[in-house]
Amino acid sequence: MVERAKQILSAFAKQIPATILGPERVRFIIDNIERINQDEKLQILNLANYILSVMLERNASDVEIGGFGTQNFIWFRTFGKKERVKELPQFTADEASSLIVCLLNKNQCEYLLQNRNLDFSYTYKQEKIARNVRFRADAYFDLDALALNMRAIQASVRPVESLDFHPYAIKMMSHNYIKFGLSLITGITGSGKSSTLDAIIDFHNQFDPCHIVIIASPIEYVHASKISIIKHREVGRDVITFKDGVVQALRQDPDIIVIGEMRDPDTILAALEVTDTGHKVFSTLHTSSAVESIDRIIAEVNPEEQERVRNRLADVLISVVSQKLIPSLDGKRVLAKEVLIVTPSVKAAIKNNNTSEIYMMINQGGQQGMVTMEQDLLRLFMERKISKENAVAYSNNKTRILQLMKGA
């Protein structure tokens, strides 16, 4: 099967005229992919599914296909490390681009040509487990050729109890305890934000008879409605933009609105507005600390809007979780997190533009469910889950982590 699919891709790639150069080669592939008949296309899809099956069997989180950077190899990320997989077939740039195009529909191809990037989801049935498996995918251009990253979406959600939150922190994020307000899950790419967000959604789904609307790009884990009714709206597929999804959600009788990412000022302002109307909102940001998250939201909007946004954010923000995945001593990765609960003192610091004071409030707020990244890294080090070197390397405040270790 693998060899036959490789031959089909190779034969199609050879049809691309040598006179077509640069990104026009990708356009030629998209315009002429119908030359591959349905049986041959199925062979190519089976090849893609085979690569993904190997990825899952090796416990890899990501796969890279195509683009100049891969040097014709397939690459996996396994427990945080990116490595080429020499046992899998190699693909030329044109073959890889053709493989990627076979995964897309016509509208997605046009969007990719126009925007040079496409977020989408991909699902196939893995025969060994007789179950559908889902992937978050991003197709993009790398030196005029198509490249693809696919990330495995876990088949099950981690229970929120396994994330080691203080009980009061979970209570603050619970819709049953506080019916409105904004809770943020932040971290760099690949820090497990989506997994934490899904754990919180599943937590509500176990006991809370509410309506949850998820707006994401793309939808990753698909939640089956249990006690809650859960709607999934994928940006670019079910709704045009994040902002549109947020505004439209107001007319859909939601209790909880989950915004996959607050990417731009419009989405940020829309999120603050729906929170103001008495809804519980969860969202993510690409920031590495709670204080940075607050500063980022305010800095994203126009200077003349910043004072109003600062006051509104202080009124609606409930909690911020900033997290990282740290290499563990057993060769895997373990979650470290900073947790901010917005108390009256934190609220005042945000309104008065004294966010630099918030770190010390987190440091001293253990009884209220708060913990700094440095305190949590120290805990993991003391529990012999991570090395001292990684505790220091992944800390936001090197001086503070060294002080804590000296006193431990």
Spatial distance between the Cα atoms of 363 and 396, rounded to a whole number of angstroms: 13
Domain topology for 160-407: Rossmann fold (3.40.50)
For position 408, what pLDDT does the model report?
61
Compute the distance between CA of residue 9 and CA of residue 362 in angstroms, rounded to an integer.
Answer: 56
389 burial via Cβ count (<10 Å: 0-12, 13-18, 19+): exposed
Cis check for the bond before 167: say yes or no (omega within 30 of 0).
no
- Tens of pLDDT, residue by residue over 93-144, are 999 999 999 999 888 999 899 999 998 889 888 877 777 888 989 999 999 9
pLDDT in tens, 45-88: 999 999 999 999 998 999 999 999 999 999 999 888 899 999 99
Half-sphere CA count of 45, side-chain side, radius 13 A: 15
Same fold, 2-153 and 160-407: no
Give residue-wise pLDDT tens across range 186-214. Answer: 998 888 898 999 999 999 999 999 999 99
d(CA 73, CA 85): 7
Nearest to residue 318, comparing CAs of 213, 208, 203, 180? 180
pLDDT tens digits along 277-295: 889 999 999 999 999 999 9
Q: pTM of the entire structure?
A: 0.80
**Is the pLDDT assigned to residue 297 strictly greater than 70?**
yes
Report the alpha-carbon distance of residue 179 to residue 75 in Å, rounded: 44
Task: Give the CATH number of domain 2-153; options: 3.40.50.300, 1.10.3720.10, 3.40.50.2000, 3.30.450.90.
Answer: 3.30.450.90
Using a pLDDT cut of 90, give the percent of the chain over it: 72
Residue 337 phi/psi, 5° resolution? Answer: -145, 155
Q: What is the DSSP string of 64-100?
A: EEESGGGTT-EEEEETTEEEEETTSPP--HHHHHHHH
Tell me the two tokens of residue 89. Answer: 């077939």
User: pLDDT band at 337, cuts 50/70/90?
Assistant: very high
Q: Are strands 211-216 and 229-234 parallel, antiparallel or unpaired?
A: parallel
Task: Give the separation between CA 388 and CA 402, rounded to whole angstroms.
Answer: 10
Six token digits for residue 401:
């982590």
Q: What is the mean pLDDT of residues 145-159?
A: 89
- Tokens at residue 99, please? 């493989």
pLDDT at 245: 92
Mean pLDDT lowest among 151-160, 219-228, 302-311, 321-330: 151-160
Tell me which DSSP letter residue 146 carries: E
The two tokens of residue 320 are: 């911020």
> Residues of the chain with pLDDT > 70: what percent?
100
Q: Please state the domain extents for the chain.
A: 2-153, 160-407
